[in-house]
Structure 1
Amino acid sequence: MSEAQRPDQRDLGVAVTVDDIRRLTGAATPHFAQQIRNRVARLIDGLPAQHPARLVGEAEVRRLTALGTSGEVRGGTAQPGMPGLPSTALPKG
């Protein structure tokens, strides 16, 4: 997956919208969260501090950062006689 988010739009000066951010982040999975986070950060870079797309984008960057490091929980409770699967989260501490 490329980290470039529609560079053709950025070159033409097309305004970034909240919907652009939501389309990009809506189906994010832990596996691709860091790449999508980078794409969002690049997309909102240069927008004014109070721009709606920047505010949503910054919130999504935080969510995607967390999702990429601790977002996958493997399975539920273990079956009798089987050990549970560990989370992909980094150990705390």
Structure 2
Amino acid sequence: MSEFEHPARSAPGHEVTVEDVRQLMGASTPHFALQLRNRIAKLIEGLPADHPARVEGEREIARLVRLGYSGEVRGMHAQAGQRPLKSNAEGLAEAG
């Protein structure tokens, strides 16, 4: 993911809104969570502490940090009725 910012959001005089923050949040995944966190932080950095977009942005940054560091867990046991998947190590051993 690029750190490129949408031109309308970075235009001089643009009033940052909660909707701007929500557009960046989108359907965030663990893979891109920390990049999104950086983009939101940059977007809200000059806003006063009580600005609605800053409040929303800070809440989202906290969520993205959690998601980025612990949001994707692998190697869990199969749930009832599911077959367990092979780990990468098992798959590489069979392929070699």
TM-score grouping bracket, smaller chain normalisation: 0.7 to 0.9
**Distance between the aligned counterparts of 1:2 and 1:18, measured in 2?**
22
- Structure 1's unaligned 5+ residue stretches are 86-93
Tell me what 2:69 maps to: 69
Q: Determine which structure has more spread, i.e. the larger CA radius of gyration.
A: 2
Match of 2:65, SS state, is helix
In the alignment, structure 1 residue 9 sits paired with structure 2 residue 16: no
TM-score of the pair, normalised by structure 2: 0.73
Give the corresponding residue for 1:91: none
| Cα displacement (A) at 1:77 | 3.7
Q: Which amino acid aligns with 2:18?
A: V
- Describe the SS at the equivalent of 1:3: coil
Stretch moving more, 8-17 or 64-73: 8-17
CA contact (8 A) 2:77 2:84 kept: no
Shift in Å, 1:47: 0.4
Over the matched positions of the two proteins, sequence identity in percent amounts to 56
Q: Which blocks of at least 5 consecutive residues in structure 2 are unaligned?
A: 89-96
Q: Which residue of 2 aligns with 1:37?
A: 37
Residue matched to 1:28: 28
CA contact (8 A) 1:5 1:43 kept: no
Q: Distance in 2 between matches of 1:14 and 1:62?
A: 25
TM-score by length of 1: 0.76
Across the aligned residues of Structure 1 and Structure 2, the Cα RMSD in angstroms comes to: 2.5
Is the aligned partner of 1:51 residue 2:51?
Answer: yes
**Whole-angstrom distance in 2 between the partners of 1:12 and 1:82:** 51
